[in-house]
Amino acid sequence: MQSERVLVTGAAGFIGSHFTDAAVAAGANVLSVDKLDYCGNLMNLAQVMDHPNHRFVKADVGDIAKMSELLREFKPTVVVHFAAQTHVDRSIDTPLSFLENNTIATTHLIEAVRLYYEKLAQDDKARFRFIDISTDEVYGDLDVNDPPFSVKSPFAPNSPYAASKAAADAFVRGYGKTYQLPVIIVHACNNYGPRQFPEKLIPLVIDRIRSGQSIPIYGTGENRRQWMYVLDHVEALMAVVEKGKAGAVYNITSGDEVTNLKLVRTLCALCDIVIAHPEGRSHAEKITFVKDRPAHDRRYAMDPRDVDDALGYRARTRLIDGLQKTIDWYLKNPEWLAAVKSGAYRDWVKRYDEK
């Protein structure tokens, strides 16, 4: 990575900030870009903000002129595109914002990249890659006994969020084919770990336990997901930067699959050890089943052999260990949690208590 010049979009977000940390630590020269909306937080980049190999710019990736300017000035060898709105519930409430921020903004960015790429010298073209970070949700859902998705599975998105990412992926692929851009698309399973915005299930549960509130679970809690510790995902992405082939699609997953109910009960059991219930009981007693959300996917699962075979990578962190690390981080960083819980976040999370 020491010879790489990496432009990271969505760098102040959850996964983007961890990737930025890792890229800087590996010796890359990094330009991080984020428009700092509700889930982008400069606190997430505190570890690298003053590093000589890192520079931050507040910018919207949908601004072709600004992104073209940054590409010309920085001259990246690789662009890693994380910037996106990612929460299904929010996409149900405001679908057009997901179209704008995920699909249209990505298309504007890839157009700026195309203009930059066309002016590169031949040797620089041979080195350049555009890596689009996407989601397993583009594939739709599975029945319990269905085989997991592979990189050849068709798209069948069931939410505005998933549709916005599937459409963005399609534009990236189309630009790769039409303009011979060296693009790579990555689909990842659910991530968790430090610095995840607390609208997502795992930090939401930890926060609700800390504050003694009810713990909401949609429907019966039998929806199944694969979960991957964020630093494992970052390690896989570093392998994609180093070994990924232009035009390839990589599905990155741990293979750790559990129901939402089992996951929440496990979190409660781990928190029982370190956060005392005021009446000496288990925090699991606070679990409340709320009305299911529309078109709630039953199951996501991807075949981990896709990336194992292509990159020689396998996730290292067992789910139970990753959950313990995550709980420990949130308990040790209450100031981070307090800072990100804005009025907008509080208004949104009230929905759980009204169901």
C-alpha 176/C-alpha 8 separation (Å) is: 19
Q: What pLDDT digit, counting tens, does each position of 14-60 carry? A: 999 999 999 999 999 999 999 998 778 899 999 999 999 999 999 99
> Among 83-92, 154-163, 213-222, 334-343, which stretch is predicted with the lowest mean pLDDT?
334-343
Is residue 222 within 8 A of residue 273, CB to CB? The reply is: no
Looking at residue 348, its pLDDT comes to 52
CATH class, domain 5-193+226-257+295-317, is: alpha beta
Residue type, position 354, single letter: E
Domain ranges of the chain: 5-193+226-257+295-317
Is residue 263 within 8 A of residue 200, CB to CB? The reply is: no
Report the candidate in 235, 242, 250 with the shortest Cα–Cα distance to residue 314: 235
Most confident of 68-72, 272-276, 342-346: 68-72
| Interval 68-80 mean pLDDT | 98
User: pLDDT band for position 313 (50/70/90)?
Assistant: confident
User: pLDDT band for position 354 (50/70/90)?
Assistant: low
Looking at residue 33, its pLDDT comes to 98
User: pLDDT band for position 307 (50/70/90)?
Assistant: confident
Q: What pLDDT digit, counting tens, does each position of 190-249 carry? A: 999 999 999 899 999 999 999 999 999 999 999 999 999 999 999 999 999 999 999 999
Hey, what are 219's tokens?
């429907």
Instruction: Give catalytic residues, as residue numbers.
Output: 136-137, 161
The DSSP code sequence of 262-285 is HHHHHHHHHHHHHS--TTSS-GGG
Neighbours of 338 (CB within 10 A): 8
| Interval 321-334 mean pLDDT | 97
- pTM value is 0.94
User: pLDDT band for position 355 (50/70/90)?
Assistant: very low
